């Protein structure tokens, strides 16, 4: 993230500067094509305004974005969001999910890898030797790699992602990755035992439709594990007016709480087999970073809060453990099950 442009840089370099739009990279001065949407869970357009934000992390556009809460079902979503044709702009080549490697992130990569492996294997419990697993929105294949390295060697492990960069990066590691989206990609219906949607659902333009397609791919009794940012947390309460890390402007389009997740399950026609929260320091760290950056704090201080900073990640991991213990961990983990019994 060395290339990011921070407000603090700008105000120091040009005191009293007034620029058009929000701070952005020099090559991203053109406005994004935007589209206005209604609630994807219940269809209502009655909203409560929550936040105005900008791309604090990657500075990919001069636009500002409005996030709202549906007055009818409580879903938090981006009301005016970038059009689908702008995905290459808002997921730049240096986007972390395309490059989460040990080379870039060293120690943090190793810690996260072992933590995630444990979580992942818990989700795979009870799968037979011939199990088929699909990682929806697999990015550069981080979780697929974990399954390959730590899971049962006879499992058939596949991923799907719509990003060229991600698919290329994953295939280079010898992983099976389909290019496209689940709604249109020709995958065998009713054939998968387990689907993973880890940090995926919040990025989708229409989570309901995608989840319905995933359901069709699953065998009877098959499960989908969803991990996503939790809006029923203290960090959300404190920072929801602008800087909350989970907004990840403008890339997180739908954000869930346990209640809205249950509603989504009802609308898809799946059962909630498990619903819990898990610990993550990321939203805490990025909420603080965004706040500091936005209000012009010195760069050295802003940089203390990032994915590259083991100290802040460690502190907020401990801190979020307290919230986890109270039932409000930073991430939601939901297991939805297809009706019918497994073979």
Query: Which among 303, 323, 324 is positioned nearest to 312, based on CA atoms?
Result: 303
342 binds other proteins (CB under 8 A): no
Residue 308 found at the interface with other proteins (CB under 8 A): no
Q: Is residue 155 within 8 Å of residue 148, measured between CB atoms?
A: no
**Given 34, 73, 234, 315, the residue binding other proteins (CB under 8 A):** 34
Nearer to other proteins, 33 or 168 (CB): 33
Segment interacting with other proteins, rule: CB under 8 A, options 42-50, 257-265, 280-288, 307-315: 42-50
Q: Which is nearer to other proteins, 62 or 170 (CB)?
A: 62
* Residue that is written with structure tokens 């992602």 in the block: 161
- DSSP sequence for 172-227: HTT--EEES-TTTS-PPTT-EEEEEEET-GGG-S-HHHHHHHHHHHEEEEEEEEEE
Residues in region 279-298 near other proteins by CB under 8 A: 294-296
Kindly provide the b/e burial profile for residues 106-129, where b requires at least 16 CB atoms within 10 angstroms of the residue's own CB: eebeeebbeebbebbeebbeebee
Asked if 238 and 48 count as a contact pair (C-beta separation under 8 A), the reply is no
How near is the Cβ of 1 to other proteins at its closest, in Å?
22
CB of 217 to other proteins, least distance (A): 33
DSSP single-letter state for residue 14: S
Among 52, 85, 185, 326, binds other proteins (CB under 8 A): 52
Span near other proteins by CB under 8 A; candidates 61-69, 91-99, 109-117, 264-272: 61-69
Beta-bridged to residue 82, according to DSSP, are 34
* 82 or 159: CB nearest other proteins: 82
Interface pick for other proteins out of 2, 13, 18, 103 (rule CB under 8 A): 18
Among 10, 66, 87, 111, binds other proteins (CB under 8 A): 66
**Given the complex with other proteins, which of 34 and 234 has the nearer CB atom?**
34
Residue 261 burial (C-beta neighbours within 10 Å; 0-12, 13-18, 19+): buried
Count of chain residues binding other proteins (CB under 8 A): 31
325 binds other proteins (CB under 8 A): no
- Counting contacts by CB under 8 A, is residue 244 touching other proteins? no
Whether residue 294 contacts residue 336, with contact meaning beta carbons closer than 8 Å, is answered with: no
Q: Which residues contact other proteins by CB under 8 A?
A: 11, 16, 18-22, 31-32, 34, 36, 45-46, 49, 51-52, 54, 61-66, 79-80, 241-243, 294-296
């Amino acid at each position: 993230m060395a290339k990011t442009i921070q407000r603090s840089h700008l105000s120091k370099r040009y005191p009293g500067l007034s620029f058009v739009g929000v701070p952005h990279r020099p090559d991203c001065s053109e406005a994004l094509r935007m589209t206005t949407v209604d609630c994807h869970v219940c269809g209502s357009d009655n909203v409560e305004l929550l936040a105005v934000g900008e791309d604090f992390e990657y500075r990919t556009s001069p636009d500002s974005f409005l996030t709202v809460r549906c007055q009818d079902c409580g879903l938090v979503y981006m009301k005016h969001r970038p059009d689908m044709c702008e995905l290459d702009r808002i997921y730049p080549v240096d986007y972390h999910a395309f490059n989460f490697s040990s080379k870039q992130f060293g120690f943090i990569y190793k810690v996260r890898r072992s933590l995630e492996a444990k979580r992942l294997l818990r989700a795979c419990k009870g799968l037979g030797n011939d199990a088929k697993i699909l990682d929806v929105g697999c990015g550069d294949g981080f979780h697929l790699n974990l399954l390959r390295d730590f899971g049962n060697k006879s499992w058939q492990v596949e991923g799907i992602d719509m990003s060229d960069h991600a698919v290329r990066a994953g295939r280079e590691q010898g992983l099976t990755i389909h290019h496209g989206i689940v709604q249109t990609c020709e995958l065998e219906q009713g054939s998968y035992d387990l689907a993973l949607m880890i940090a995926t659902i919040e990025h989708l333009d229409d989570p309901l439709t995608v989840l319905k397609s995933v359901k069709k791919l699953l065998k009877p009794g098959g499960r989908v594990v969803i991990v996503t940012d939790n809006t029923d947390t203290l960090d959300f309460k404190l920072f929801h007016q602008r800087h909350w890390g989970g907004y990840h402007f403008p890339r997180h389009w739908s954000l869930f709480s346990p209640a809205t997740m249950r509603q989504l399950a009802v609308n898809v026609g799946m059962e909630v087999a498990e619903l819990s929260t898990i610990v993550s320091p990321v939203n805490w760290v990025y909420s603080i970073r965004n706040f500091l950056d936005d209000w012009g704090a010195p760069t050295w201080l802003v940089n203390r809060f990032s994915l590259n900073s083991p100290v802040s990640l460690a502190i907020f991991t401990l801190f979020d453990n307290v919230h986890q213990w109270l039932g409000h961990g930073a991430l939601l983990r939901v297991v939805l099950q297809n009706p019918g019994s497994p073979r």
